[in-house]
Amino acid sequence: MSHDFQQIAARIVEAVGGRNNIQQAAHCVTRLRLALTDESRVDGDTLRQIDLVKGHFSNSGVYQIVIGAGDVERVYEALLALTGLARATVADVKSTGGSKQNKLQQLVKVFSDVFMPILPAIIVAGLLMGVNNLLGSPGMFIPGKSLLDAYPGLSGVWGLINMMANTSFVFLPALVGWSAAKRFGGSEILGIVLGLLLVHPDLLNAWNYGKAAAGLDGASLPYFDLFGVLHIEKVGYQGQILPILIATWVMCHVERWLRARVHNSVQLLIVPIVTIVVSGLLALAVIGPLARHLGMAITDGLVHVFNLAPVLGAMLFGALYAPMVVTGMHHMFIAVDLQLIATQGSTFIWPMIALSNIAQGSAALAMFLVSRDNNDKSMATTSALSAYFGITEPAMFGVNLRFKLPFYAALTGSALAAATITLSHVRALAIGVGGLPAFISIVPQHIPMFLVGMLVAIIVPIAVTFALAARIRMQLATA
């Protein structure tokens, strides 16, 4: 089916308030991303009726129009030709849109900007770790034995996959250092060096910190002794987020301060070494220990709340996670998940996130059966499939939020599914694909109950959407 991309672009420009209302435009794999002067001028009803437009929403000061892979690039080129706008990157548009946000939104945006570029590495590591867990878990496939016990020849495969899976987590501070330095306007290579410094082999591995701090088995914390006055814990920060995130922010400020004052002829000699020495010393002596204890306090507090009222906490999280996706606040939970994995070895948050995605996909799938319009059916099937593999925006913005009732059905299913797995203490060993493949990253012994939670997240939204079918069809008839 051929499309008139110039006409589609013209209608989009008109629907978002005209050329004068567009400050910048970029695109990602599936969406146009626009920085608008005044988002209240957008005509959402007209926008939804445009061919190829599958949904639209505002997030973190950026107006996003869901079009789809391939077509979005053609629409973008037509939009640039029509408006005369200069080509911009997604980062450019985010920066322009972010200037109009409040402090909380700006903080959330920092987490989003830092973690989104490294998320593929974290997900790949989580999936590989999940495969290894299945191979090494006793009783998963063979009573009383793991596949490694039954087939010793798999040990080499297990060791290789284990090394690949652990790489992203062992060197996570280096990944965060690179991404954070890029976000805060510093040297990305110095961000990597600072991250690697915090996981240097000469430092006590962070996984052994608790044992050494408690003095178990004769272990004790090693220290750097500086001039007999300053004692710095000789401890690494493997798998931890807050220490490197704060340290990189400090590093970028130190680097920029130096660049503004050091003569160009000696910048290459002085700026990098002074930046690393100062920020590295602060990271190991002050920032790291404080951030470690802050991270432990946050995770202990979260665990304590869930231990006090696990079902209530799970239902609230399950019901509120999708609305947080709408506002963009969900990116903060990546850091929480990683902190839980670093301090406790597993997380109870990520399994609920995966079920929320499945619930959104199920509500969209139900709309395929409820709707009688071919365009709505097509939108529902493609967006449901996307949500089942972890990308919920097309389902939420293109289908569920559009008619509201399916969105509420998805929230109901997500809340009940979260309560179901929380009662069974289901946890994940890593972050994986937040949809149907999520079971791979779950603690192997918890997989059966997680599958029960998946069934709840599939059945309840479909059932509730069907129960509201008459009201939804009335909406469709008047849309």
Of 336, 297, 341, 334, residue with least CA distance to 207: 341
Separation CA 191–CA 180 (nearest Å) = 7
Rounded to whole angstroms, the Cα distance separating 215 from 202 reads 20
Q: How far is CA 245 from CA 179, 197, 343, 392, in A?
A: 9, 13, 17, 27
Active site residue 28: yes
> Given the structure tokens 């110039």, which residue do they identify?
6
- Cα 147 to the chain's mean position, in Å? 32
Alpha helices in 24-154 (DSSP H): 44-48, 71-83, 90-98, 103-115, 119-136, 147-150
Cα 379 from Cα 382, distance rounded (Å): 6
Helix (H) or strand (E) holding 418, with range, is helix 405-423
Q: How far apart, in whole angstroms, are the C-alpha atoms of residue 468 and residue 280? A: 59
* Encoded tokens for 437: 């493949």
Of 4, 28, 81, 160, the active-site residue reads 28
Angle between helices 242-259 and 267-282 (to 10 degrees): 150
Enter the DSSP assignment of 331.
G
Q: What is the DSSP letter of 85?
A: P
The closest of 312, 349, 322, 356 to 457, measured between CA atoms, is 356
Cα 264 vs. chain centroid, distance in angstroms? 39
- CB atoms under 10 Å from CB of 171, counted, come to 19
Which of helix, strand or coil describes residue 138?
A: coil
User: How far is it, in rounded angstroms, from Cα 52 to Cα 9?
Assistant: 10
Distance CA 146, CA 326 (A): 42
The two three-digit tokens of residue 390, written as one number: 């972890």
Residue at 362: amino acid letter: S
DSSP at 345: S
Q: CA 180 → CA 114, 115, 189, 190, 243, distances in Å?
A: 5, 8, 11, 11, 12
Which positions are annotated as active-site residues? 28
